[in-house]
Amino acid sequence: MFKQLKEDIALIKERDPAARSSFEILMTYPSLRALRSYRRANWFYRRGFFTIARMISQRARNKTGIEIHPGATIGKGLFIDHGMGVVIGETAVIGNNCLIYQGATLGGTGKDKGKRHPTLGDNVLVGAGAKVLGPFKVGSNVKIAANAVVLNAIPDDCTAVGVPARIVKRKGEKVSQCKVTQDIDQIHIPDPVSQELCRMEVELERLKKRLGELENRS
């Protein structure tokens, strides 16, 4: 227990430049308290003491503003920065060394049964206010921008922004929403709003060109 606590404090010191001392982290950081409560609640949950587990998690929610369902699966090195308003659902899975900012939600859509919440790979960043909703996978090394709403799976090494979220970078390179490729992905489709805007832009350019040709003839 003390070894885990030392690791948690060291992680916060590494990731938060505002952390001044171990004592300050121990006494004031809601992320630390929420994760410690989650581990206790998860211990009871895995042994079938569901009510006790929920009581522990709800008490932690009331004290920290962070709601982690005791049935969630969380890897090593999770840091919840600030944390107020964070919600992590029952069947959510979080990989190693992830970073979640305040107001983020790993939730369900309300229509799924069984596995209802997302799975995050390793080294995922979920920005402030972002919503990741549904039983799909977000790959490793993914960055989800603040206030994005993710409704479909995201492959590794991508950056997603917008409502609904669309991929704007893959492996450090920009992804054009107007570009049509032959290797069409049937799951990670582009944002339909962006597609329509691109179509309108192409049509406008065609009409401007046509108008210019008519003016030259006259």
Q: Which residues contact 32 (CB under 8 A, 6 or more apart)?
A: 8, 9, 12, 25, 26
* Spatial distance between the Cα atoms of 64 and 28, rounded to a whole number of angstroms: 10
123 and 63 within one domain: yes
Whether 60 and 111 share a structural domain: yes
In which domain, by residue range, is 85 found? 2-175
> What pLDDT score was predicted for residue 143?
93
pLDDT value of residue 83: 85
What CATH number is given to the structural domain containing 59?
2.160.10.10
Same domain, 149 and 183: no
| Residue 198: predicted pLDDT | 72
Structural domains counted in the chain: 2
Rounded CA gap, 75 and 82, in Å? 19
Same domain, 61 and 38: yes
Does 122 lie in the same domain as 186? Answer: no
pLDDT at 194: 64
- Domain co-membership, 184 together with 169: no
Question: Mean pLDDT in runs of 10 for the chain (218 residues)?
Answer: 82 84 89 93 96 96 95 93 92 94 91 87 94 94 92 92 87 60 42 68 84 80
pLDDT of residue 195: 62
Both 214 and 126 in a single domain? no
CA–CA dist 25, 12 (Å, integer): 8
- Of 89, 157, 72, 167, which Cα lies nearest the Cα of 122? 157
Question: Where in the chain does DSSP place strands (E)?
Answer: 67-68, 73-74, 79-81, 87-88, 93-94, 99-101, 105-107, 119-120, 125-126, 131-133, 137-138, 143-144, 149-150, 158-161, 166-170, 173-174
| 59 and 119 belong to one structural domain | yes
Alpha-carbon distance 7 to 43, whole Å?
A: 19
Same domain, 113 and 89: yes
On whether both 36 and 130 belong to a single domain, the answer is yes
- Output the pLDDT for position 176: 58
Shared-domain flag, residues 73 and 14: yes
Q: How far apart are CA 163 and CA 29, in angstroms?
A: 31
> Which pLDDT value is given to residue 184?
38
What is the rounded distance in angstroms from the CA atom of residue 210 to the CA atom of residue 106? 49
Structure confidence at residue 193 (pLDDT): 64
Q: Are residues 121 and 52 in the same domain?
A: yes
**Residue 140: which residues within 8 A CB-CB, separation 6 or more?**
95, 121, 122, 123, 124, 156, 157
pLDDT, tens digit, for every residue of 95-139?
A: 999 999 999 999 988 777 789 999 999 999 999 999 999 999 999
**DSSP track, 44-104:** HHHTT-HHHHHHHHHHHHHHHS-EE-TT-EE-TT-EEES-TT-EE-TT-EE-SS-EEETT-
Whose tokens are 């960043």? That residue is: 125
